[in-house]
Amino acid sequence: MRNVLVTGGAGFIGSNFVRYLLRAEPDARVVNLDALTYAGSRENLRDLPGAERHVFVHGDIRDRERVGTLMHAYSVDSVVHFAAESHVDRSITGPAAFIDTNINGTFVLLEAARAAWLDGTARRTDVRFHHVSTDEVFGSLGPGEPAFTEQTPYRPNSPYSASKAASDHLVRAYGHTYGLPLTISNCSNNYGPFQFPEKLIPLMILNAVRGKPLPVYGDGLQVRDWLHVEDHCEAIHAILRRGRPGETYNVGGNNQPTNLEIVRTICGLLDERFPDSPHRPHERLIRFVTDRPGHDRRYAMDISKIGRELGWSPRHSLADGLRDTIDWYLAHPDWLAAIDAKGEFQSWLAQNYATRGTA
């Protein structure tokens, strides 16, 4: 890993990975390609090294000429593909962007890697295309069903998860048909610094400290496996370093709380942090709103393969991770103001929840 193309590197997980990789690989240079849509921001890249180690390129993964030029100009030997439309709610109201970016964008990247690495007789083996995917491609689990493994059949239930499933299949096909050296990781719900505040955990933190309602879908008993973003970055690095080409690895946080438990835990931590807050107890701000269409009930990840083969396991407990995440958001109000300078998050929040009412 000397010249690494990271797509979506100004987004939540991507920017955390860029920071992690620059620390973990002192000889590596990162070429960071991001379209800077609503969820990506240059604010997430503040204080990074200069061009000798980190090159930011404002561009779209669907731009074939731009992607091909970057592969050759920087002698890219590793691609770590985060760039995606990733919010389920947005995929329900506007699925076209998810199909275009997540499927067509992945296709453009695969073609660029094939042209750069497998052209004619100059077939390289010292390269890697790593595709970052989601546990949502596996569908929903019932209460007693075993956790998802790498062999679980795909059964996506939303336009978002269907688009990610399609991109997974494309990546795998390029490995089988063309011999592209690849790996895939399917991760559970991430949380931590730099997450755009439409997602559950930052939304609950920011609304609670301001005394605003905490909207919880349905009965709040949907079960998720929560993964701290730093643990996710370590897992991807382990896959790049030691993962077997052609393999898929599940990455999860080894926990299964309900969404309501997550919200109540955040409220309790804020009660401790602000014992004199007029909003205390923060749990009284919870409002149950009409559930979203096709809401998956439960996800759970079996992470035994990555532990057995690569020696990886999550280091953050959920309680400590949530406490650290709360502290990060409270310490960075300027970040929030900068990423939502146009009011896009506030506008989305109003549109998404104003008409739902209580369930």
pLDDT of residue 358: 46
Q: Which one of 77, 85, 135, 296 is the catalytic residue? A: 135
The contacts of residue 220 (CB under 8 Å, 6+ apart) are 258, 259, 260, 263, 286, 288
C-alpha span between 330 and 346 (Å, rounded): 18
Q: What is the pLDDT of residue 169?
A: 98
Check residue 214 and give its pLDDT. Answer: 95
In the residue annotation, 136 being an active-site residue is answered as: yes
Please give the radius of gyration of the chain, using alpha carbons only, rounded to the nearest integer: 20
Say how far residue 278 (Cα) sits from the centre of its chain. 34
Strands 128-134 and 189-191: unpaired
Active site residue 234: no
- What residue ranges define each of the domains in the chain, with the CATH number in brackets? 3-195+227-254+295-316 (3.40.50.720)
Q: Which is it for strands 128-134 and 182-187: parallel, antiparallel or unpaired?
A: parallel
Q: Give CA angle at 339 (333, 345), nearest 5°.
A: 100
> Of residues 25, 77, 85, 160, which has the active-site annotation?
160
What local confidence, expressed as pLDDT, does residue 346 receive? 63
Q: Mind listing the pLDDT tens digit of every residue in the chain (359 residues)?
A: 899 999 999 999 999 999 999 999 999 999 999 999 888 889 999 999 888 999 999 999 999 999 999 999 999 999 999 999 987 888 888 999 999 999 999 999 999 999 999 986 668 889 999 999 999 999 999 988 999 999 999 999 999 999 999 999 999 999 999 999 999 999 999 999 999 888 899 999 999 998 999 999 999 999 999 999 999 999 999 999 999 999 999 999 999 999 999 999 999 999 999 999 999 999 999 999 988 888 989 999 999 999 999 999 999 999 999 999 999 999 998 888 887 765 665 665 566 555 455 44
Out of 34, 77, 85, 136, the active site residue is 136
Q: Give the pLDDT confidence score for residue 125 in this predicted structure.
A: 84
Residue 320 among the catalytic residues: no
What pTM value is reported for the model?
0.93
Give the C-alpha separation, 25 to 57, whole Å: 20
